[in-house]
Amino acid sequence: MRRAACLSIALQHTLQIENDSIAGEGSRSRSTPPMNKYERQSRFPADQTPLPQDIPGDIAEELSRLPSEVIELNDAPPLAPPVPLTHDEVRTIVISLMLTMFLAALDQTIVATALPTIGRQFGDVTNLSWVITSYLLASTAVAPVFGTLSDIYGRRAMIITSLSLFVVGSVLCAIAPSMTMLILARGLQGLGGGGIMPVVQTVISDVVSPRERGRYQAYFSSVWMAGGILGPVIGGVFAEHLHWSMIFWINLPLAAAGLALLLPKMKKIPVFHRKREVDWLGGILLMASAVVFMLVLTWGGTRFSWLSPTITAMLGASVALAGAFVWHARRADEPFLPLSLLGGSVVPFAMCAGGCALGAIVGLTVHLPLYYEVVYHLSASEAGLALIPLAAISTCGAAIAGRTMAKAKHYKRVAIVGTSVAAVCAAGMAVTTLPLWGLLTLMGVFALGLGTTFPVSVVSLQNSVARAQVGTVTGAMNFFRALMASFTVAAFTTILLMTLGSDISLASEHHAAGAVSAIPVADMVTAFRYVFGAAAALLTTASICMIVMEERPLAGPGTPPVEMAE
């Protein structure tokens, strides 16, 4: 109370000094018209007006530290709140974003079944894997770039840029005259595809309140899974009955439809970006480190031994580049990815939980067909159908979590329960050998619990940072998830190769029939006990992260979101 009273007295004394100075000048300028009571009453700037002598020293020091900087117009808050979007406008935006995300999801898998046809046409089968690898490398590396740029230049500019790169890359893929040109074009297509996911998730955060956002994130999880499942089917049909280039030409009308729906509504979306200088050096260091690390995960254990000089040197280069990025980020005024944004009580735990969950489901999706073929003697197509429960039911878990977030105060409990149940199911698959129907049932429960992680982690992460940083943190989240998925696939492959002692390409799109049939069933069951155990460890880690993560309040419909920065 005394401090507040002293501050008030100090301000009154300052005003009195200004009024006295005006009174002294009044005799020299009687012809000057009287000032409005809202105008300044002194010719001296406010920051140069002396303080009265009788103010205590601590109060005077506190007054001297009061901020006096001027906020730039671009950084100032809006004078009036934006006009809220109608339900129909939100629905149109969501549909267009779902269509856009479907494109990115489809092109990650649609090429797989067309690879033999493409290899025969170009007479090159040794470099076929690069058709997929180049896309994954590019899309993973640019995810944080597009997220950060959307916070600087706006969502509209970045969604147009990412879709344009994606379409141009698709056209170049369709008309590629050689395998080399196809690989390069797929890399360009990956640059656009990698920007779609973080920008779409950021736009959703601009138009939907945090409490409702979980439900919409569940919709996008469904679209992502549907694109991954339908991709190989559509690619196989096009390659067999039409031409393999159709898997790229189909992107043009879909992208045009998405832009036609989205762009007219983008002008009404609230603007939260803040223009500033782009830290290109930091972005290049981060992308270079990611690309080298992804190559280590891709080549390690397959093209090169894990302990080979090549892999060791590449891993060292990746660590050095990452260290250089951290060193630069600590010294830059406005770094590309602020390290402080990745700290706190929400962001690191949400990223880790989502990364572990995605890594588990991707790693099992890649390797389970081999298990089905050897242990249950399913054909390749039947093994593919047996993956549907894992992919489809996980979207049901995401939908349950999204609807729970819209109503429950303690929204993270559904993810804690879900990840715990999934960990128990994975442990059960590791210690018991079940008939096919039993395994599929347990796999369905596993997927249901795992799916609850995605909307809770995404919304919690976005809800914990300032609006002007949502794109940056969303891009970083997608970047970490992609790295975690690639790491898990490589780890599961290494586990199987070490256990089986067999030099077959376990993570390839097509397994050699002779090599698969030569693996004893008992050996395969034993090997997958370790794989299921690793999946249980990942889901246990996700559950612990959800427990430790701070549960911050979510703003609901019609109320402003809570502005909290890490």
Q: What is the pLDDT of residues 102-133, one digit of tens each?
A: 877 777 777 777 777 787 888 777 777 778 88
HSE-CB of 191 using CA atoms within 13 angstroms = 14
State whether residue 361 is helix, strand or coil: helix
Quick one: pLDDT at residue 558? Answer: 44
The torsion region of residue 501 among left (phi > 0), alpha (psi -120 to 50) and beta comes to left
Q: Quick one: DSSP state of residue 52?
A: P
Nearest CA among 107, 129, 108, 109 for reference residue 119? 129
Q: Between 64 and 476, whose confidence is greater?
A: 476
Domains of the chain with CATH codes: 88-278 (1.20.1250.20), 337-566 (1.20.1250.20)
- CA gap 506, 539 in Å, rounded: 23
pLDDT averaged over every residue in the chain = 76
Residue 466, both tokens:
């300032």
Query: What DSSP state is assigned to residue 220?
Result: H
- Got the DSSP string for 428-482? HHHH----HHHHHHHHHHHHHHHHTHHHHHHHHHHHTS-GGGHHHHHHHHHHHHH
CA distances from 341 to 141, 450, 465, 469, 526 (A): 19, 26, 8, 8, 42
Residue 61's pLDDT is what?
A: 57
Could you count the other beta carbons within 10 Å of the beta carbon of residue 238? Answer: 21
Number of neighbouring beta carbons within 10 Å of residue 504: 17
pLDDT tens, position by position, 271-280: 665 666 777 8
The whole-number pLDDT of residue 402 equals: 82
CB 89 within 8 A of CB 265: yes
H-state helical runs in 84-209: 87-109, 115-122, 129-153, 155-174, 179-207
pLDDT at 424 over 90: yes
The rounded radius of gyration (Å) of the Cα atoms in the chain is 29
pLDDT in tens, 470-496: 778 888 888 888 888 888 888 888 888
Backbone angles phi, psi at 304, to 5 degrees: -130, 150
Q: Cβ(536)–Cβ(428) under 8 Å?
A: no
Most confident of 90-99, 136-145, 375-384, 412-421: 412-421
